[in-house]
Amino acid sequence: MFDLSSVDLLDAFTRELQLCKLKSDEHVVVLAEPSSRGDYVAAAYGAAKALGAHVIAATVPGGSPAPMPSTHTGAGPGLVSVLNDTVAQDLLKSADLVVDLTREGFIHAPVQQEILAAGTRIIFVCDAPDVLIRNLPGAGDKDRVQRGVDLLRGSSTMRVTSQAGTDLTVQLRDSHPMFQCGFADDPGRWDHWPSTMVMCWPEISDGRIVLAGGDILLPFKEYVREPVTLEVAGGHITKVTGRAEAELLSTFFDDSQDQWARSLSHMGWGLMKTADWFATAMYGKDELMGMDARAFAGNFLWSTGPHPVLNRESYAHLDIAMRGCTVSVDGTDVVVDGRLVAD
């Protein structure tokens, strides 16, 4: 049934594919699994067709090898049905643009790197409709995040402090700064709608991270209620103290039986000014991956587990979004007390 919500989605997907610089006669594959949103498949398909592209909607079986429920976590390896099927992979490699509507995407799957290496661009979409529409990127967002990447690339140290007691010093050498801007417009580019963030993959960081009440733990999609102190040495968490949430994190690290669970992964800051910190509270966990928290303008986002630059394969991936931090790169403040310094 085509209804008014469908019109909104079709409009949003059309604008998104325009940001991805979809041209007429390019080839689009809309990738879904049985539990993907059918209205997103229709909207992506319709938008591609309206822009004059060739389009195929491909639905592959669901199911993931991840040791945790693989839905909207941002931690999973992707669908077995694609990981084990070279025909599916070849289809994706032959596309100019893949609109990935699977529930988990292929963020941590090496096969995604192979698909990108073929020149395919991939835009991953899984959050709720009004989250997508509210956070629809602007063409200038890429320049905004690129400036942050350039700053990181030319710097040696990032320092993160907070009134709650955080004081972390991060070595930026060989930290591979990168960005997400919410659209994939260059060949071989993966991106996530919605997102606007700057990040890097440091190896060494030292000091202390203190989570304050209201910070957000992902993929649990829960707010911290009582402070948690994490001591960090050489890029690894050496001690966790606090009450309920400290216990939760320690249990997660232990249960994962993963040698990299306590190692720090990517970190950076959000620039998405339309993000809503309370989206995590206002939606069902199944409706969101949590990009409002991850990309919130002026947050400090850090994570644990996998580290592709250091070849650490791990599914024990936490993303933790903090408010109220000051992030300083070689003495240049990019975030002060949780507020993004003007672009």
Which residues would be at the binding site for Fe ion (CB under 5 A)? Answer: 303, 319
Minimum separation from the CB atom of position 107 to Fe ion (A): 8
Radius of gyration from C-alpha coordinates of the chain:
19
User: Environment class of residue 251 by beta-carbon count within 10 Å: exposed (0-12), middle (13-18) or buried (19+)?
Assistant: exposed
Helix segments in the chain, DSSP class H: 4-19, 38-50, 80-83, 86-94, 110-117, 129-134, 141-153, 244-256, 279-282, 291-295
| Of 312, 315, 316, 319, the residue nearest 294 (C-alpha) | 319
Torsions phi, psi for 121 (to 5 deg): -105, 145
The nearer residue to Fe ion, 93 or 317, going by C-beta atoms, is 317
Q: Please, are residues 272 and 296 in contact by the beta-carbon 8 Å criterion?
A: yes
The nearer residue to Fe ion, 303 or 328, going by C-beta atoms, is 303
Q: Read off the DSSP letter of residue 11.
A: H
The nearer residue to Fe ion, 46 or 268, going by C-beta atoms, is 268
Count of alpha carbons within 13 angstroms of residue 102, beta-carbon side: 27
Which residues make Cβ contacts (< 8 Å) with residue 1, sequence separation at least 6? Answer: none
The nearer residue to Fe ion, 64 or 303, going by C-beta atoms, is 303
Minimum separation from the CB atom of position 319 to Fe ion (A): 4
Minimum separation from the CB atom of position 258 to Fe ion (A): 15
The nearer residue to Fe ion, 91 or 122, going by C-beta atoms, is 122
The nearer residue to Fe ion, 180 or 303, going by C-beta atoms, is 303
Q: How many C-beta neighbours within 10 Å does residue 187 have?
A: 12
The nearer residue to Fe ion, 127 or 319, going by C-beta atoms, is 319
Could you tell me how far CA 266 lies from the centroid of its own chain?
10
Amino acid identity of residue 340, one-letter, is L
